[in-house]
């Protein structure tokens, strides 16, 4: 019997608790085994840090759903942000991944390109930083740039799709479009397994 596909939903929780619970519930309804720290479905080794436990969940999962929001989060250990580290590890391990990005992150990134101030010499200085607040944390822009592979020539970028959303229903449209068709997901997994010379993990039935 085919085991349920394990999907890791990134640990972006602050002010997003109800939404992430709904997303996880939707994925569970589709038949996925959902790994997420907020709903308590990842294995917790009491001898490890929160960061290490979350990264182990990334290693365990078959596919990964990342969510980039205006909040950088409170799960920071030694300057490492748990959500960002989850994302980097998923991409490093070549886990099939999909990303949602909040509209405010996309908007602020575009706006920041046009911000400047007049310095003491009367010159335009574009080195503008946005002060951290409960509205926006500029460090989320680094996550977004990492995901879309900023700095890589656009023509050669792959795996850099990040779907913009504002409301929960918009996020759910993307989630359903990507994960509802299990044949599509199995195809993506088999393709990745072929590249790694391992065809036994997700055989065709």
The domain limits of the chain are 6-195
Reported as a single tens digit per residue, the pLDDT across 45-92 is 999 999 999 999 999 999 999 999 998 765 566 678 899 999 999 999
Distance, CA of 165 to chain centre: 13
- In angstroms, the Cα distances linking 59 to 29, 64, 93, 111, 182 are 23, 10, 8, 36, 21
Q: What is the pLDDT of residue 77?
A: 62
Percent of residues, the chain, with pLDDT higher than 90: 68
Residue 33, SS3 per DSSP: strand
Q: What span, in angstroms and rounded, lies between the C-alpha atoms of 32 and 35? A: 9
Q: What is the pLDDT of residue 115?
A: 85
Q: Which of the listed CATH numbers 3.40.50.450, 3.30.70.890, 1.10.1060.10, 2.90.10.10 matches domain 6-195?
A: 3.40.50.450
Residue 113, SS3 per DSSP: coil
Tokens encoding 10: 């990134």
Q: What is the pLDDT of residue 130?
A: 83
Total-model pTM: 0.87
* Residues in a beta bridge with 8: 35, 64
Q: What span, in angstroms and rounded, lies between the C-alpha atoms of 32 and 41? A: 12
Reported as a single tens digit per residue, the pLDDT across 158-192 is 999 999 999 999 999 999 999 999 999 999 999 87
């Amino acid at each position: 019997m085919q085991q349920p596909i394990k999907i890791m939903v990134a640990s972006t929780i602050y002010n997003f608790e109800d939404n992430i619970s709904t997303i996880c519930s939707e994925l569970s309804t589709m038949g996925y085994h959902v790994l997420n720290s907020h709903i308590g479905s990842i294995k917790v080794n009491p001898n490890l840090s929160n960061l290490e436990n979350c990264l182990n969940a990334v290693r365990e999962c078959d596919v990964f759903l990342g969510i980039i929001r205006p909040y950088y989060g409170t799960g920071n250990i030694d300057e490492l942000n748990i959500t960002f580290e989850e994302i980097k590890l998923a991409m490093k391990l070549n886990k099939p991944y999909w990303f949602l990005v909040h509209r405010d992150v996309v908007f602020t990134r575009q706006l920041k390109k046009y911000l400047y101030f007049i310095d003491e010499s009367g010159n335009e200085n574009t080195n503008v930083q946005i002060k951290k607040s409960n509205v926006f944390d500029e460090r989320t822009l680094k996550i977004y740039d990492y995901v879309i592979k900023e700095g890589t020539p656009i023509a050669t970028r792959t795996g850099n799709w990040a779907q913009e959303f504002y409301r929960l229903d918009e996020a759910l449209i993307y989630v359903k479009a990507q994960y509802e068709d299990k044949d599509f997901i199995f195809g993506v997994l088999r393709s990745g397994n072929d590249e790694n010379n391992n065809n036994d993990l997700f055989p065709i039935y």
